Structure 1
Amino acid sequence: MSVWNEVVGQPEAVAALQGAVRDPAEMTHAWLFTGPPGSGRSVAAGAFAAALQCERGGCGRCHACTTALAGTHADVQVVTTEKLGIDIDVVRGLVQSAQRRPASGRWRVLLVEDADRMSERGANVLLKAVEEPPARTVWLLCAPSPEDLVATIRSRCRAVRLRVPAVEAVAQLLVRRDGVDPAMAAHAARAAQSHIGLARRLARDEGARIRRREVLRIALEVRGVGDAVLRAADLVDVAAEEATAATAERDAAERAALLRSLGAEGAATLPPAVRAQVGQLEKDQKARATRSRRDVLDRALVDLASLYRDVLVVQLGADVELVNAEARRDVERLAADTTPERTLRRLDAVRQARERIGANVNPLLAVEAMALELRP
């Protein structure tokens, strides 16, 4: 048992982090964990936070390890956001927390997931704290790439670069940790392209596997303008429904808990002060729903791109495994019906759709433009 057991396929990164835990000369006050989605940035940072608090360097069994990993350690503060960005007020709160000495642990650890979602103003506030931290404070920032943070912050951090783990390593984790059947684990790990969280979901959720197959069928069903418009609308609607299903129960529970805490549960009319707090909650929930819809849609587009990637592999005769091996017949059919140049243009259309959605373009318009490029 060790805090590092969940950090899959990252031996170099784990070795560097373990060295810093053991040797004060290797330790620094700010770390930047980077890697593609699904590489385990937050998992690695969380394991490092636990190891820093552990007297045995991350045994995984002591009180320090278990509370740090569970998010209940008094000196480990984890910040994540379900909105489109991290509010500047959240960053200011972190900076204030950084000035306090550890209450009971060896370090005060501030772990910021999605640090790339900080606004420029938030990054400027954080910069001062990263430049001049107290002696026993350590910052752990997570982002897809170093370029996603302003240069002044990343230049003050020690980089920990993670890579996409091997499909076999992710499959083994699913078998060992979640008790997934080995064949299903291998299928899920390959379909998720080694994204650990998504692989777990695909392995355990039949609905998720069905929705993924429906996304892949877009490549076969878009034959004309009408098909493109209809399939684009279906894709956006499915993303919205999935996001709503994932958040509706939680939204209702949060509202009920807020009203109960304010003594207004069951009230026919809410006092002005209560209405203001409920309004703020609804605003936060709306922002969370927006991000959830975008994330679901982006994942669907990644799945679609994986199919065209397989088509290109077949067209070029490359000796690599298909991501969608179970759909080989469809892949070979598409490969025979078009050229590698056309496949590349389709891949580029999917990429542009993802970029446009990330830049706040209306999702339906972005997906419709993409679908039109998928026609024969």
Structure 2
Amino acid sequence: MSVWDHVIGQPAAVATLTRAVTDPAAMTHAWLFTGPPGSGRSVAARAFAAALECPDDGCGTCRECRTAIDGTHADVTVKATEGLSIRVEDTRALVQEAGLRPSVGRWRVIIVEDADRLTERAADALLKALEEPTPLTVWILCAPSLEDVIITLRSRSRHVRLRTPPVEDVADLLVRRDGIDPAMARYAARAAQSHVGLARRLARDEGARIRRRDVIAMPGRIRTIGDAIAAAADLASIADEESSSSGAERDAAERTRLLETLGADPAARTQPPHIRAQLSALEKEQKTRATRFARDTVDRALVDLLSVHRDALVLRIGANVDLVNEDSVDVVRALAAMRTPEQLLQSMEAVGEARDRINLNVAPLLALEAMTITVMSGNATD
């Protein structure tokens, strides 16, 4: 067993990191892990942290390995935002912690899982720590691409690029780690386009599979402006429902825990001013988290829409490549029969533009309506 067992499809990255653990000449104080969503950036970062702390360089079974991977090691700090950005106050706290010597391990490791979400001021605060590194402190930044991180940070970090793992490797991981049936694991890995987290969710959640089938069937049903507006509303409502269902219980538990920590009565109709201020701050964080979750849910649906248009284009031009949506080949064939290659490309561009607009804080419903109207025009002009 090894800490690298779950870092799948990344032989070059694992070789680089393994060498850094054992060879001081290959080690540096700051690393930048990049790779597309689902490539396993945070998994690789935690595995690297575990290998650095492990007396046997990453055995995967000792206390140091287990606690580093699950985020409870005293010298390993993991910063992952559930909001839209990482604030300067959060970064300053990390910089202060990075200045401490390791308490029980060989290194103090700071992992920033969403370095692309650092605000400008937060990035500036982090830059000072990278310019003047503390001995025995290692920074691991994670982001989708180099371009998502400001140049001053990436120029002071050693870059490790991760790639999308093969479908077979993701399916094997689901079988080996989660006990998923091999046929279901392969379906989920292909449908998720090798995104490990999404594949696991598809394999275990029938509701997620049903919602995905509804999304990929949507383009063929849009015939009128009314259909387009309704489809956009459906996509937005799916995100709102998932956000509400996943967050309500967690939000209530966080509120109760905060009141207990502050020594307040959770059943009281009114709270003292200082407690109301704390509750207000918590509610603001929860709202920001819900906004990000809803946007991420919409983005996953848009990726599914891209996949079905891509598959239809593959069939239309007769390309000899595998389909993402093998389980819904009838839907793909119907869409391919309805559209010319040019119309399929036009719809794919519309989906990509919707993703960009939502990422730039355009209201998701407006971006989705513009997209579905473009998709409708492709159907209407056939």
Taking structure 1 as the reference length, what is the TM-score of the superposition? 0.99
TM-superposed CA distance for 1:218, in Å, is 1.0
Q: Find the aligned partners of 2:18 and 2:262 in 1 and give their Cα distance.
A: 46
Write the deviation string for residues 47-68 of structure 1: whole angstroms up to 9, x where unpaired: 0000000010100111111111
CA deviations 1:309-364 (Å, max 9, x no partner) are 00111011111110001111121111122110110000000000000011110111
Match of 2:289 in 1: 288
Q: Return the alpha-carbon distance in structure 1 between the equivalents of residues 229 and 163 of structure 2.
A: 37
Aligned to 2:235: 235
* Corresponding residue number in structure 2 for 1:52: 52
Aligned to 2:127: 127
Partner of 1:330: 331
1:167 offset after TM fit, Å?
0.2
- Partners of 1:353 and 1:14 lie apart in 2 by 35
The 2-side partners of 1:156 and 1:316 are apart by 45
Paired with 1:37 and 1:114, the residues of 2 have a C-alpha distance of 11
2:259 aligns with: 259
Deviation, structure 1 residue 247: 0.8
1:168-194: CA deviation from partner (whole Å, max 9, x where unpaired): 000000000011010000000000000
**Superposed, which structure 2 residues align to 1:134-173 within 5 Å?**
134-173=134-173
Determine if the alignment matches structure 1 residue 348 to structure 2 residue 349.
yes
Which residue of structure 2 lines up, in the alignment, with residue 69 of structure 1? 69
1:93 maps onto 2:108 in alignment: no
Amino acid paired to 1:305: L
1:40 counterpart residue number? 40
Which ranges in structure 1 are unaligned for 5 or more consecutive residues?
Answer: none
CA distance in 2, matches of 1:329, 1:206: 20
Shift of 1:131: 1.1
| Alignment-derived partner of residue 322 in structure 2 | 321
Superimposed CA distance per residue, residues 56-94 of structure 1 (whole angstroms, 9 cap, x where no aligned partner): 010011111111111111100000000000011000001
SS at match of 2:4: helix
Question: Could you tell me which residue of structure 2 aligns to residue 109 of structure 1?
Answer: 109
Amino acid at match of 1:373: T
CA shift at 1:216, angstroms?
Answer: 1.0
2-structure distance, mates of 1:169, 1:71: 25
The residue correspondences of 1:202-281 to structure 2 (distance < 5 A) are 202-264=202-264, 265-281=266-282
Q: Shift of the alpha carbon at 1:112?
A: 0.2
Kindly provide the amino acid, as one letter, of the partner of residue 218 in structure 2.
Answer: I
Residue by residue over 1:143-172, the C-alpha shift from the partner in whole angstroms, topping out at 9 and shown as x without a partner, is 000111111110111111000000000000
Q: How many residues align?
A: 376
Separation (CA, whole Å) in 2 of partners of 1:128 and 1:256? 38
CA–CA distance in structure 1, aligned partners of residues 46 and 91 of structure 2: 19
Would the aligned equivalents of 2:2 and 2:60 in 1 still touch at CA under 8 Å?
yes
Q: Find the counterpart in structure 2 of residue 369 from structure 1.
A: 370
The alignment's TM-score, normalised by the length of structure 2, stands at: 0.98
- Which amino acid in 1 is paired with 2:127? L
Structure 1 runs of 4+ off > 3 angstroms?
none
2:127/2:152 contact within 8 Å kept: yes
Per the TM alignment, residue 268 of structure 1 is displaced from its structure 2 partner at its CA by 2.2
Distance (Å, rounded) in 1 between the aligned partners of 2:118 and 2:221: 40
Give the distance between the partners of 2:226 and 2:190, measured in 1 at CA. 33
In 2, distance between residues paired with 1:226 and 1:267?
Answer: 48
User: What is the CA-CA distance between 1:120 and the residue it aligns to?
Assistant: 0.9
Contact 2:83/2:292 (CA < 8 Å) preserved in 1? yes
Instruction: Provide the rounded CA distance (Å) in 1 between the counterparts of 2:163 and 2:213.
Output: 27
Q: Match of 1:22?
A: 22
Distance 1:269 1:348 in 2: 52
- Alpha carbon RMSD of aligned pairs, Å? 0.7
Aligned partner of 1:280: which letter? A
Does the aligned pair in 1 maintain the 2:220–2:334 contact within 8 Å?
A: no
Q: Tell me, what secondary structure is at the counterpart of 1:268? A: coil
Once residues 23 and 32 of structure 2 are traced to their aligned partners in structure 1, the CA distance between those partners, rounded to angstroms, is 19
Q: Distance in 2 between matches of 1:338 and 1:220?
A: 10
Distance 1:324 1:93 in 2: 45
